[in-house]
Structure 1
Amino acid sequence: MAEAEVKAESVGTVVVAGSANLAIAIAKTIAGLLSGSAAMLSEAAHSIADTTTEVLLYLALRRGARPADTRHPFGYGKESYVWAFLAALFTFVVGAGFAITHGVTTILVHQHTGNYLVSYVVLVVSFAIESVSLARAVRQIRRESRRWRATPRRYLRLTADTTVKAVFLEDSAALVGLVVAGVGLGLSELTGSELYDGIASILIGVLLLAVATILARSNVSLLVGRAVSERIHRQIEREMLALPTVDRVDTLMTMLLGPDDILVAAKVDFHNDATGADIEAAADEAERRLTERYPEIGYVFLDPTRSMPGTDRGRARRTQNED
């Protein structure tokens, strides 16, 4: 799948999720106001937070896709992580904060107004819509994981495309939250106690807190400058060592510049009899091989260097830990 197609698919996934969350947020808000249920109002806050998140993720995709210029020679890929981090922060503050606070308030003082039926209908419809949005995200994750020759779980953990990761986690959390809200409403209706409705609201807030924390940590790591996975690191190293004029790779460093942009920099020891023309040809061949295998590699920098004393022949000095 071409890079442009991947970006278009990510945009489509975000747009579908955002449209679904907006419709669900309106329905949940109406149901929550009619029923007075803390769990329903927390779910409404959940969907409002998710809708805002999708808007920020859309901005992340658009802003991060701008081409490089003289002020930003490596492009704007990292800006997408800024917007994605703000999206996680919004979920943390607005979604989780409201759900937990409202749940505690409900347990202490709230009196339920009734009309459970409306809430049940909205929960069922919301579950169906969220399932459609999640299914699209899962399809994209499976396709991308095959392209990177990784399991879907590993791809989701290590991917630099935080937009599809955010949609998957938020939609998954939304489905779990709907079940929790339904159980809380059912127990409150059966027992006549608002305790269960309030507990459900708090659990939804804790769920949002966990998702926001995971996404925030992931985006901070990418903003700082995360390397590619160890498996891809080794494959890049092997491609360089396969060049006929390369004796060893002393140091190999990589950085994810954006969802679809990788920088590769290496100190390479060439054979002693290699000429300047040989080194130039090897550098061109290294770039050709690497970009052919991984089209996301946008920059390859090789620094000819002498072998480091006391190192094993052919092995690069490690600059990252095993995943």
Structure 2
Amino acid sequence: MVVLIAFLANVLVAVAKTVAAMITSSASMTAEAAHSWADAGNEIFLLIADRRGARPKDERHPLGFGRRAFVWSLVAAFGIFTAGAIVSIMHGIQQLASDEPVENPGIAYTVLGIAFLLEAISFVQAFRRSKRLARERESTTWDFVLKTSDTTLRAVFFEDGAALIGLAIAGASIAVHQLTGVAAWDAWGSILVGMLLAVVALILIGRNMAFLVGATVSNAEWRSVGTALLGMSDIERITYLHIEYVGPHRLFIVAEVDLAGDEAEHAVARRLRDVERTIEQHDVVEKIVLSLSVADEVSLEFGAGRR
């Protein structure tokens, strides 16, 4: 729902900015139009990411298809960089030597104001959801957005936040151009919008690459999973625990455990399989692999300290 709201908002805003850019001949408005069209196109990639990443696992993909969400989100981030950042910066550089005035600035301000309202509605939706989820995980909203495996939520949060800042830059650039009569201010607005988009794109590219190569969960999440496993009646202790993301909110867990009791080998093997199947019924667990601990291995502790 967050992605769909962002997509509809960006399409409406992109159309309005394009018309305004043609009427006003403003470099900043042209950059903002490119920004919105890039965002609208990226929302399509994010919708694909959600759809493709949710496919159930099969024999050839035992860890599921969750990483496809990171791939498509990575493509969307490159779209921001190329269609948004590079186009805006290049257009601004080309307009630095221009002395053409902004025509009908009232139209530009009206479109920017409407765009700000629409982008704010979309951003508030993403912010509220991020704040709620961060509170549930006892984290700050900023840390949650940066580290969450929900790649589409992070993309919408950053894109809409950048859109609001970009609109403020565009409006200020046009205003200074009007006050000073120096057209270069409008061109610099386009360049600054492009630089802003480049920073956002690089952040999103970096986070998606991190998850694609195998990002592990945070210390707090690691302790939470370990505590939950020890809370099972079949597991007496844990000597090894590895958890990594294989998709948004999808975990792959490998653990060495000591089962309660002292049964024969064939009975222990079946109990391990039963415990694995029980754990995999949890919504966020894609796959878990359990093996037996060696008797002299040190048991892991899941207190407040680091692992």
TM-score when normalising by structure 1: 0.86
Aligned to 2:186: 197
**What is the CA–CA distance in structure 2 between the aligned matches of 1:260 and 1:305, rounded to whole Å?**
28
Structure 2 residue identity aligned to 1:72: H
Residues 54 and 110 of structure 1: CA distance in aligned 2, closer, same or farther (over 3 Å):
farther
Residues 65 and 59 of structure 1: CA distance in aligned 2, closer, same or farther (over 3 Å):
same
What secondary structure is seen at the aligned counterpart in 1 of 2:238?
strand
The structural deviation recorded for 1:278 is: 5.5
Is the counterpart of residue 305 in structure 1 residue 290 in structure 2?
Answer: no
Deviation string 1:85-144 (CA, Å, 9 cap, x unpaired) is 000001001100011111111112352352111101000000001011111111221332
Is the counterpart of residue 314 in structure 1 residue 299 in structure 2?
Answer: yes
The structural deviation recorded for 1:250 is: 2.6
**What is the CA–CA distance in structure 2 between the aligned matches of 1:287 and 1:108, rounded to whole Å?**
67
The structural deviation recorded for 1:272 is: 8.5
Deviation string 1:276-308 (CA, Å, 9 cap, x unpaired) is 44675466457647866xx31232211113146
Structure 1 residue identity aligned to 2:60: R
**What is the CA–CA distance in structure 1 between the aligned matches of 2:44 and 2:64, rounded to whole Å?**
22
Q: Which moved more, 1:139-148 or 1:76-85?
A: 139-148
C-alpha RMSD of the superposition: 2.5
The structural deviation recorded for 1:188 is: 0.1
Residues 80 and 247 of structure 1: CA distance in aligned 2, closer, same or farther (over 3 Å):
same
Is the counterpart of residue 62 in structure 1 residue 47 in structure 2?
Answer: no
Aligned to 2:126: 137
CA contact (8 A) 1:236 1:290 kept: no
Residues 75 and 194 of structure 1: CA distance in aligned 2, closer, same or farther (over 3 Å):
same
1:207 to 180, 189, 196: 196
Aligned to 2:155: 166
Aligned to 2:69: 80
The structural deviation recorded for 1:14 is: 0.7
Is the counterpart of residue 45 in structure 1 residue 45 in structure 2?
Answer: no
Deviation string 1:173-206 (CA, Å, 9 cap, x unpaired) is 0000000101000000011101211111111011
Residues 97 and 118 of structure 1: CA distance in aligned 2, closer, same or farther (over 3 Å):
same
What secondary structure is seen at the aligned counterpart in 2 of 1:249?
strand
Aligned to 2:5: 16
Q: Which runs of 5+ in 1 are unaligned?
A: 1-11, 317-321
What secondary structure is seen at the aligned counterpart in 2 of 1:266?
strand
Q: Which moved more, 1:279-288 or 1:91-100?
A: 279-288
CA contact (8 A) 2:279 2:288 kept: no
Aligned residues: 303
Percent of paired sites with the same residue: 35
Q: Which moved more, 1:248-257 or 1:181-190?
A: 248-257
Aligned to 2:175: 186
Residues 72 and 95 of structure 1: CA distance in aligned 2, closer, same or farther (over 3 Å):
same
TM-score when normalising by structure 2: 0.90
CA contact (8 A) 1:123 1:182 kept: yes
**What is the CA–CA distance in structure 1 between the aligned matches of 2:202 and 2:271, rounded to whole Å?**
47
Residues 202 and 314 of structure 1: CA distance in aligned 2, closer, same or farther (over 3 Å):
same
What secondary structure is seen at the aligned counterpart in 2 of 1:228?
coil
Aligned to 1:35: 24
Deviation string 1:201-242 (CA, Å, 9 cap, x unpaired) is 111011100110011011111111111111111122233344
Aligned to 1:119: 108
Aligned to 1:128: 117
**What is the CA–CA distance in structure 1 between the aligned matches of 2:58 and 2:99, rounded to whole Å?**
56
Is the counterpart of residue 176 in structure 1 residue 165 in structure 2?
Answer: yes
What secondary structure is seen at the aligned counterpart in 2 of 1:227?
coil
Structure 2 residue identity aligned to 1:304: L
CA contact (8 A) 2:158 2:200 kept: yes
CA contact (8 A) 2:256 2:293 kept: yes
Residues 239 and 155 of structure 1: CA distance in aligned 2, closer, same or farther (over 3 Å):
same
CA contact (8 A) 2:214 2:244 kept: yes
CA contact (8 A) 2:31 2:190 kept: yes
Structure 2 residue identity aligned to 1:162: T
**What is the CA–CA distance in structure 2 between the aligned matches of 1:137 and 1:245, rounded to whole Å?**
40
Structure 2 residue identity aligned to 1:301: V
